[in-house]
Amino acid sequence: MITGRRVRLRALERSDLELWREWINDPEIAAMLDRVLPVSPPEHERFFERCVIGNEHAVWFGIEDAETRRYIGNVWLWNIDNRHRRAEVRTFIGERSAWGSGAGSEGLSLIAVYAFQQLGLHKVFAYVMARNPRGRRALMKAGYHEEARLVGEAFWDGQFQDVWRMARLSC
């Protein structure tokens, strides 16, 4: 359990699956996570087994409101590379009423500190679409800086779009 001012990061549980699947099937959230197909319950269950429980190169947390203990989203380290001591960070706040509350940026900050202090990583980084100013702002508030603008990196809605790579270093 990692406790911040607004949120707590905790282990994901099987009982989170239903709400979690609802969120990633929300078209606006799916678009920001670069997902194109809706996820069915069996697919989601399989993903949980393989990519959450059975993946030693990832660390997943559920995000809870620190006060109400309500489950509001996820934040996770993906493709943890122990040789280069870096990992990608991904997140979403599924509970739309929590957008703009500081939950997203605090989750991004807490997981960076966890990566540096508990896993000994040196760098965490995230990809955020140029058309996602809220995501970019949340990353900046959490201490991530622009490393590169990847021009024409993503094909979305019939157009090639730019993606920012943002990173935070351990020191």
Q: Does 87 bind ligand COA (CB under 6 A)?
A: no
Both tokens assigned to 72: 């509001």
Q: How far is the CB of 154 from ligand COA (least distance, A)?
A: 12
Which of 92, 114, 116, 144 binds ligand COA (CB under 6 A)? It is 92
User: d(Cα 143, Cα 111) in Å, to the nearest integer?
Assistant: 12
Q: Does 78 bind ligand COA (CB under 6 A)?
A: no
Q: Does 121 bind ligand COA (CB under 6 A)?
A: no
Q: Which residue is nearest to ligand COA (CB)?
A: 104
User: d(Cα 110, Cα 115) in Å, to the nearest integer?
Assistant: 9
User: d(Cα 137, Cα 162) in Å, to the nearest integer?
Assistant: 16
Which of 12, 112, 126, 167 binds ligand COA (CB under 6 A)? It is 126
Beta strands in the chain (DSSP E): 2-3, 7-10, 59-65, 71-81, 86-93, 123-129, 145-156, 159-169
Q: Does 138 bind ligand COA (CB under 6 A)?
A: yes
Q: How far is the CB of 168 from ligand COA (least distance, A)?
A: 13
From 79-87, 92-100, 109-117, 143-151, span contacting ligand COA (CB under 6 A) = 92-100
Q: Residue 108: CB partners within 8 Å, gap ≥ 6?
A: 75, 89, 91, 126, 138, 139, 142, 144
Contacting ligand COA within 2-41 (CB under 6 A): 29, 32-33
Instruction: Assess contact for 45 and 120: CB atoms under 8 A.
Output: no
Q: Does 51 bind ligand COA (CB under 6 A)?
A: no
Return the half-sphere exposure (C-beta side, CA atoms, 13 A cut-off) of residue 146: 11
Please give the residue ranges that form the binding site for ligand COA (CB under 6 A).
Answer: 29, 32-33, 91-93, 98-105, 126, 128, 132-135, 137-138, 141
